[in-house]
Amino acid sequence: MTEALIVIDMQNDFCPGGALGVPEGDSLVAAINARMADFGAVVVTQDWHPAGHASFASSHPGAKPMDVMEMPYGPQILWPDHCVQGSAGARLHADLNADRADMILRKGYNPALDSYSAFFENDHRTPTGLHGYLQTRGITEITLVGLALDFCVNFSAVDAAQLGYDVRVEAALCRGIDAHGSMDAALAGMRAAGVTLV
């Protein structure tokens, strides 16, 4: 059992009607549930922001969603308030088989630092703990699915490849946001990192 499925951020706020809804995001749930049966290990991630998070446009007077702001760790797209801890929007999609997850990893809870990747916060140095968990499980191969392809899936895939995992992204089980040309950049970046796009 060396393979893990990592299901990225299948949460209400990233589905249609949510604060940062990804078109057709909810259409993936049934197929992701079915895919879980093919893996000995399943990890589900969950964006988990405190109110007033630094990545929210509402935290910066005069800013609006999708503006880009320079943060101490680099450029940050400012988002609508989303996945606020304990909110309905932060909950995993009701139809997602979360009971199948061996681990649910919450990320983005540092109020000053966003966390797209399941492995590192956006400073690219602060670990989430997922790498250590997978190592103790003997996992060497990772398949990623979920939301959004050009942000959290992308950053997670690239970090996993750089950590030495054999990484696959099943693009048919992902959907993207495509802000500021992020989709093309993400696909090119994943390929350059050695990620297999299926």
Catalytic member of 9, 47, 114, 150: 9
Give yes or no for residue 180 having a pLDDT over 90: no
Q: What is the pLDDT of residues 65-74, one digit of tens each?
A: 999 999 999 9
Can you give the length of the chain in residues? 198
| 83 counts as catalytic | no
| 107 counts as catalytic | yes
Give yes or no for residue 181 having a pLDDT over 90: no
| Angle of helix 154-162 versus helix 182-192 axis, rounded to 10 | 20
Give yes or no for residue 97 having a pLDDT over 90: yes
Catalytic member of 15, 83, 152, 174: 152
Cβ partners under 8 Å of residue 68, min gap 6: 75, 76, 77, 78, 180
| 174 counts as catalytic | no
pLDDT value at residue 1: 78
Q: Token pair for residue 84? A: 């606020």
Catalytic member of 81, 107, 114, 174: 107
Percentage of the chain exceeding pLDDT 90: 97
